Amino acid sequence: MKQMKLAYIDNKPYEIKEGETILTFLKRHMGEKPVPTLCDAPNLDPFGSCRVCSVDVALEKAGKTKAMASCHSPIGEGQYIFPNTPNIQKLRKNIVELVISDHPLLCLTCEVSGNCELQDVAATVGLRDVRYPEGANHLDTPKDLSHPYMTSDLSKCINCFRCIRACDEVQGQFVLSMAGRGFDTHIIKGLDQSFMDSDCVSCGACVQACPTSAISDVFQSKSVTATNTTRTICTYCGVGCNLDVATNNGEILSITAPFDAEVNEGHTCLKGRYAFKFYNHPDRLDSPMIKRNGNFEKVSWNEAYDFIASKLTSFKDEFGPDSIAGISSARCTNEENYLMQKFIRTVIGTNNIDGCARVCHSPTALGMQTTFGTGAATNSIDDLKDTNCILVIGANPTDAHPVTGAKLKQFAMKEGHVTIVIDPRRTEMAKYATYHLALRPGTNVAVLNMMFYYIISEGLSDITFIKNRTEGFEEFKKEILDIDIDKLEKVSGVDRNLVREAAIAYATAPNAMSFHGLGVTEHSQGTFTVIQIADLALITGNIGRRGVGVNPLRGQNNVQGSADMGVQPHQGAGYLDITNDEVNKKYNEFYGVDVPKVIGYKIPEMFDAALDGKLKALWVIGEDIVQTDPNTKKVIKALESVELVVVQELFMTETAKYADVILPGASFLEKNGTFTNGERRVQAVRQVVAPIEGAKADGQIIVDIMNKMGYSQADYTPDGMLEEISQIVPFFAGISWDRLGKNGLQWPVLKDGTDTQILHLTEFKRGKGFFEFHNWEETQELQSHSKEYPYILTTNRELEHYNCGAMTRRTANEQILSYDYLLINPEDAKENLINEGDYICIESPRGKVDVILYRYSRLR
Ligand code: SF4
Interval 790-809: pLDDT, tens? 998 888 889 999 988 999 99
Banded pLDDT at 859 (limits 50, 70, 90): low
Residue nearest ligand 1's atom 3 by CA: 269
Residue 704 is predicted with a pLDDT of: 98
Residue 825 is predicted with a pLDDT of: 86
Helices (H), 714-837: 718-728, 780-785, 813-816, 826-831
C-alpha of residue 520 to centroid of ligand 1, in Å: 21
The number of the ligand 1 atom at minimal distance from the alpha carbon of 239 is 7
The number of the ligand 1 atom at minimal distance from the alpha carbon of 234 is 1
**C-alpha span between 839 and 856 (Å, rounded):** 14
Question: What mean pLDDT is predicted for residues 474-479?
Answer: 97
C-alpha of residue 181 to centroid of ligand 1, in Å: 37
827 vs 644, higher pLDDT: 644
Residue 157 is predicted with a pLDDT of: 96
Question: What mean pLDDT is predicted for residues 40-52?
Answer: 94
Residue nearest ligand 1's atom 6 by CA: 272
Residue of 149, 234, 278, 668 best suited for mutating to test ligand 1, as the one with most atoms within 8 Å of CB:
234
Give, for 611, the enclosing helix (H) or strand (E): helix 603-611
Nearest CA among 617, 594, 592, 591 for reference residue 606: 617
Burial class (CB in 10 A: 0-12, 13-18, 19+), 314: middle
Residue 185 is predicted with a pLDDT of: 93
The 3-state DSSP class for residue 549 equals strand
State whether the beta carbon of 205 lies less than 6 angstroms from ligand 1: no
Taking 90 as the threshold, does the pLDDT of residue 820 lie above it?
no
C-alpha of residue 792 to centroid of ligand 1, in Å: 29
Question: What mean pLDDT is predicted for residues 203-214?
Answer: 97
C-alpha of residue 213 to centroid of ligand 1, in Å: 24
Nearest CA among 677, 606, 720, 809 for reference residue 262: 677
524 vs 659, higher pLDDT: 659
C-alpha of residue 571 to centroid of ligand 1, in Å: 29
The 3-state DSSP class for residue 80 equals strand
Banded pLDDT at 729 (limits 50, 70, 90): very high
C-alpha of residue 302 to centroid of ligand 1, in Å: 37
Dihedrals phi, psi of 528, to nearest 5 degrees: -65, -40
C-alpha of residue 255 to centroid of ligand 1, in Å: 12
C-alpha of residue 236 to centroid of ligand 1, in Å: 6
Amino acid 805 reads G
C-alpha of residue 270 to centroid of ligand 1, in Å: 8
Nearest CA among 488, 416, 482, 415 for reference residue 446: 488
Helices (H), 385-484: 397-400, 402-413, 428-432, 444-457, 463-469, 473-481
Residue 529 is predicted with a pLDDT of: 96
The number of the ligand 1 atom at minimal distance from the alpha carbon of 677 is 7
Give, for 308, the enclosing helix (H) or strand (E): helix 301-319
Taking 60 as the threshold, does the pLDDT of residue 1 lie above it?
no
Average pLDDT over all residues of the chain: 95
The number of the ligand 1 atom at minimal distance from the alpha carbon of 401 is 5
Banded pLDDT at 856 (limits 50, 70, 90): low
Q: Tell me the percentage of the chain whose pLDDT exceeds 70.
A: 99
State whether the beta carbon of 271 lies less than 6 angstroms from ligand 1: yes
State whether the beta carbon of 240 lies less than 6 angstroms from ligand 1: yes
Residue nearest ligand 1's atom 1 by CA: 272
State whether the beta carbon of 239 lies less than 6 angstroms from ligand 1: yes
Banded pLDDT at 730 (limits 50, 70, 90): very high
**C-alpha span between 584 and 573 (Å, rounded):** 12
C-alpha of residue 679 to centroid of ligand 1, in Å: 14
Taking 60 as the threshold, does the pLDDT of residue 518 lie above it?
yes
Residue of 170, 233, 268, 808 best suited for mutating to test ligand 1, as the one with most atoms within 8 Å of CB:
268
Banded pLDDT at 463 (limits 50, 70, 90): very high
Q: The sheet that has 54-58: what strands, in order across it?
A: 12-15, 6-9, 80-82, 54-58, 65-69
Nearest CA among 325, 321, 238, 264 for reference residue 564: 238
C-alpha of residue 275 to centroid of ligand 1, in Å: 10
**C-alpha span between 394 and 411 (Å, rounded):** 18
Residue of 170, 235, 236 best suited for mutating to test ligand 1, as the one with most atoms within 8 Å of CB:
236
CA distances from 18 to 10, 42, 74 (A): 21, 19, 9
Residue 477 is predicted with a pLDDT of: 97
Q: Please provide the DSSP assignment of 133-150 as one string.
A: PP-S--TTPPEE--SSSE
Q: List all residues 6 or more positions away from 414 whose beta carbon is below 8 Å from its beta carbon.
A: none
Q: List all residues 6 or more positions away from 2 whose beta carbon is below 8 Å from its beta carbon.
A: none
249 vs 359, higher pLDDT: 249
C-alpha of residue 493 to centroid of ligand 1, in Å: 34
**C-alpha span between 622 and 331 (Å, rounded):** 7
Neighbours of 420 (CB within 10 A): 27
Neighbours of 478 (CB within 10 A): 11
Query: Rounded to two decimals, what is the model's pTM?
Result: 0.94
State whether the beta carbon of 237 lies less than 6 angstroms from ligand 1: yes
State whether the beta carbon of 269 lies less than 6 angstroms from ligand 1: yes
C-alpha of residue 556 to centroid of ligand 1, in Å: 10
Residue 389 · residue 548 · CB < 8 Å: no
The number of the ligand 1 atom at minimal distance from the alpha carbon of 243 is 6
State whether the beta carbon of 403 lies less than 6 angstroms from ligand 1: yes
**C-alpha span between 548 and 535 (Å, rounded):** 13
pLDDT in tens, 225-247: 999 999 999 999 999 999 999 99
Residue 797 is predicted with a pLDDT of: 86
Given the DSSP bridges, would you call strands 571-572 and 576-577 parallel, antiparallel or unpaired?
antiparallel
pLDDT in tens, 564-620: 999 999 999 999 999 999 999 999 999 999 999 999 999 999 999 999 999 999 999
The number of the ligand 1 atom at minimal distance from the alpha carbon of 405 is 5
Cα 431 to the center of its chain, rounded Å: 21
State whether the beta carbon of 241 lies less than 6 angstroms from ligand 1: yes
Question: What mean pLDDT is predicted for residues 672-690?
Answer: 97
pLDDT in tens, 750-775: 999 999 999 999 999 999 999 999 99
Residue 833 is predicted with a pLDDT of: 87
The number of the ligand 1 atom at minimal distance from the alpha carbon of 263 is 4
Q: List all residues 6 or more positions away from 142 whose beta carbon is below 8 Å from its beta carbon.
A: none
C-alpha of residue 309 to centroid of ligand 1, in Å: 37
Residue 613 · residue 606 · CB < 8 Å: no
Residue of 267, 269, 399 best suited for mutating to test ligand 1, as the one with most atoms within 8 Å of CB:
269
The number of the ligand 1 atom at minimal distance from the alpha carbon of 273 is 6
Dihedrals phi, psi of 112, to nearest 5 degrees: -100, 5
Dihedrals phi, psi of 356, to nearest 5 degrees: -65, -15
C-alpha of residue 269 to centroid of ligand 1, in Å: 5
Nearest CA among 527, 555, 526, 523 for reference residue 357: 555
pLDDT in tens, 2-26: 689 999 999 999 999 999 999 999 9
The 3-state DSSP class for residue 179 equals strand
The 3-state DSSP class for residue 548 equals coil
Residue 297 · residue 228 · CB < 8 Å: no
C-alpha of residue 691 to centroid of ligand 1, in Å: 22
Taking 80 as the threshold, does the pLDDT of residue 153 lie above it?
yes
CA distances from 790 to 311, 359, 443, 513, 784 (A): 47, 24, 16, 35, 11
**C-alpha span between 300 and 750 (Å, rounded):** 44
Residue 446 is predicted with a pLDDT of: 97
How many residues make up the chain in this entry?
Answer: 860
Nearest CA among 615, 613, 637 for reference residue 625: 637
C-alpha of residue 307 to centroid of ligand 1, in Å: 38
Instruction: Give, as one character, the DSSP assignment of residue 497.
Output: H
Question: What mean pLDDT is predicted for residues 507-521?
Answer: 96
Residue 857 is predicted with a pLDDT of: 63
Q: What is the dihedral of CA 520, 525, 526, 530, to 10 degrees?
A: -90
Residue 588 is predicted with a pLDDT of: 97
**C-alpha span between 844 and 842 (Å, rounded):** 7
The backbone region for 775, taken as left when phi is positive above 0, alpha when psi lies in -120 to 50, beta otherwise, is beta
**C-alpha span between 530 and 34 (Å, rounded):** 51
Residue of 171, 237, 407, 800 best suited for mutating to test ligand 1, as the one with most atoms within 8 Å of CB:
237
**C-alpha span between 229 and 227 (Å, rounded):** 7
pLDDT in tens, 375-434: 899 999 999 999 999 999 999 999 999 999 999 999 999 999 999 999 999 999 999 999
Buried b (16+ CB within 10 A) or exposed e, 58-92: beeeeeebebbbbbbbebeeebbbbbeeeebeebb
Amino acid 787 reads K
Q: List all residues 6 or more positions away from 463 whose beta carbon is below 8 Å from its beta carbon.
A: none
